[in-house]
Amino acid sequence: MKTIDDFNFESKKALIRVDFNVPLNQDFEVTDTSRIAAATPTILKVLEDGGSAILMSHLGRPKGKVNPDMSLSHICEKVSEIIGVQVKFAEDCVGDKAKAAAGALENGEVLLLENLRFHAEEEAGDDAFAEQLSKLGDVYVNDAFGTAHRAHASTTIVAKFFPENKCFGYLLAKEIKAIEKVMQTGEKPVTAILGGAKVSSKITIIENILDKVDHLIIGGGMTYTFIKAQGGNVGDSICEDDKMDLALDILKQAKAKGVEVHLPVDVLAADDFSNEADTQFVSVDEIPDSWQGLDAGPQTLENFKKVILASKTILWNGPVGVFEMENFAKGTIAVGNAIDEATQNGAFSLVGGGDSVAAVKQFGFQDKVSYVSTGGGAMLESLEGKTLPGIAAILD
């Protein structure tokens, strides 16, 4: 696996695919800078070697048309502030403006190209567009894990124009190693905690990880499909009736492979999907009609904690309750605390995929786990066992 450490960038232009698809408020200010911060070590390595960096990214979904609201010019000052170097801006990512800006770039300087997705050719994975991008730099560096599952021009196709001079940036290399640690090289026992609303959205992950884990903790809305399938009463809780056979099959597969499945035994039920609803703790298979389970109960959390603390490798994907509402966030916080404790005791913990990352940030766990993945969809596809096109293009 070639990483940025295998290259000396002295007097070279590094064409770096970063993931600066960051949230902006109505004044076009960046409200979460973590993706910019995550790419900074890669950019600084190039500059410290005596080279220059040309950054390319998308922002939002402009659908192949120029949209001033999604211009990367809005984030240029914030990027400059975070990396500590005044970043120049090119008003396009290909064509005369991009070529002139890249050509004028001196060692130690950084150039940010305009939004790649202002050109429909980017998402189409167009060869000619990728070739135009490739002419801007000497070495191609992919450091955008968040888009590594897309075969777009800047994430995958461009790599073929750098047969020898392509590598992973620090962030993407770390992501690959973190997933490998859970899926291949992790110290046992390995525990996966899967939450979220639907079994259907996690089925391929579950099927893929059953060969790799010793314990599978299931929480969140998925719980109720499993409980109802086993004959329990789940009241008005979210439930995929058409996936009950699948849930039973997963339990059967897990048993055959010697994987212990841990389902909630009690839940915090509410008479309405609202933070102000009346609540009561009930057995998970005896939820009253017109009530719904919205968080894990105390005995469940005690059970989960025991499993987590006995684990050496932990994957957390998905909350165990409706953490966006304060009254139903306690379960997710308790799981975060248990993972924090296990990590302090020497376990390796990886958090990835949408809502669990949001929860980790909301409750301040990002520095208390071993690694927080920056890519939602890419992380999920990796856990499903797929080889991501952006990663394959560098390894090729």
Determine whether the annotation assigns residue 126 to a binding site: no
Residue 42 gets the label, from left (phi > 0), alpha (psi -120 to 50) or beta, of alpha
State yes or no: is 198 an active-site residue: yes
State yes or no: is 17 an active-site residue: no
Determine whether the annotation assigns residue 356 to a binding site: yes
State yes or no: is 321 an active-site residue: no
Please tell me which residue in 361, 377, 385, 386 is annotated as part of the active site: 377
CA 30 to chain centre: 19
Residue 292 contacts residue 236 (beta carbons within 8 Å): yes
Determine whether the annotation assigns residue 150 to a binding site: yes
Please tell me which residue in 160, 177, 198, 312 is annotated as part of the active site: 198
Residue type, 54: I
User: Encoding tokens for residue 309?
Assistant: 């603390």
- Is the sign of the CA dihedral 22, 25, 30, 34 positive or negative? negative
Residue 360 contacts residue 336 (beta carbons within 8 Å): yes
Residue 104 contacts residue 61 (beta carbons within 8 Å): no
Determine how many CB atoms are found less than 10 A away from the CB of residue 5. Answer: 11
Please tell me which residue in 354, 361, 385, 386 is annotated as part of the active site: 354
Please tell me which residue in 35, 166, 181, 368 is annotated as part of the active site: 35
State yes or no: is 377 an active-site residue: yes
Determine whether the annotation assigns residue 324 to a binding site: yes
User: Encoding tokens for residue 360?
Assistant: 């980790």
Determine how many CB atoms are found less than 10 A away from the CB of residue 77. Answer: 14
Task: Please tell me the distance from the alpha carbon of residue 383 to that of residue 388, in angstroms, as a whole number.
Answer: 11
Determine whether the annotation assigns residue 20 to a binding site: yes
Determine whether the annotation assigns residue 17 to a binding site: no
Determine whether the annotation assigns residue 58 to a binding site: yes
Residue ranges of the annotated binding site are 19-21, 35, 58-61, 117, 150, 202, 293, 324, 353-356
Catalytic annotation, residues: 35, 198, 354, 377
Residue ranges of the annotated binding site for (2R)-3-phosphoglycerate are 35, 117, 150
Residue ranges of the annotated binding site for ATP are 202, 293, 324, 353-356
Residue ranges of the annotated binding site for substrate are 19-21, 35, 58-61, 117, 150
